[in-house]
Chains A and B, each alone.
Chain A
Amino acid sequence: NAGVTQTPKFQVLKTGQSMTLQCAQDMNHNSMYWYRQDPGMGLRLIYYSASEGTTDKGEVPNGYNVSRLNKREFSLRLESAAPSQTSVYFCASTWTGRGGGYTFGSGTRLTVV
């Protein structure tokens, strides 16, 4: 099993450019999440999708949009990138209801110049 796959692994954007981070899981999980991690910080939740067809804001949603394309895929879009969005982005998934652990992707390192 591949688990959670994120693409791309690295990206450099200029201020004002847009891009979409892709995430796919093959574990039939119902809930998916996008986090960002900044130096010396834990992970902060950007958006989540508790089930297919629903999305909700997390702690730091400003400047981002998401799409739960189907049960497997959950994308994160930056419409107009800003230097403050320089970070490492992690996608995660879990089967809510079983109260189990989350499976994380390997991350996307994004630099906005």
Chain B
Amino acid sequence: SQQGEEDPQALSIQEGENATMNCSYKTSINNLQWYRQNSGRGLVHLILIRSNEREKHSGRLRVTLDTSKKSSSLLITASRAADTASYFCATAAQIYSGGGADGLTFGKGTHLIIQP
């Protein structure tokens, strides 16, 4: 079953605007990760946030995690046409100390379109 659910399912914005995607999950986690998938390609790891962290930054990406609400958000600032892709959140369960030995559980993704 799907652990994460992204919201919205699709998002279209103008180049230069900020894009925010949300993810909710159901069970306790060790960490939560965000991936990008360009059409017809494999997934690319963007950022990982651990369950004891609340916010993390990487370049134009900002991720927040609220374990009490079992939710996360991904913010892409100053969007570019090249950011057009599907974005997935994925959770690693709290089974092993490092989390994720038994695989990540993915949501259905948010399809982001950046209009030039």
Contact = CB atoms under 8 A, between A and B. Distances in A.
Interface of A: 4, 31, 33, 35, 40-45, 48, 50, 56, 58-59, 90, 92, 94, 96-107
Contact of B48 (A40, A99, A105): A99
Contact of B44 (A42, A56, A104): A104
Interface of B: 1-2, 4, 30-31, 33, 35, 40-45, 48, 50, 88, 90, 92, 96-109
A96 B45 contact: no
A47 B82 CA distance: 33
Contact of B42 (A31, A44, A106): A106
Closest 9 CB pairs of A and B: A101-B45, A42-B106, A97-B98, A104-B42, A96-B101, A99-B98, A45-B103, A43-B106, A50-B101
Contacts of A35: 106
A90 B104 CA distance: 13
Given A56-B102, A90-B42, A90-B43, A42 B108 contact: yes
Given A42-B106, A45-B103, A58-B103, A101 B4 contact: no
Contact of B2 (A31, A42, A58, A99): A42
Contacts of B99: 99
Nearest to A98: B98
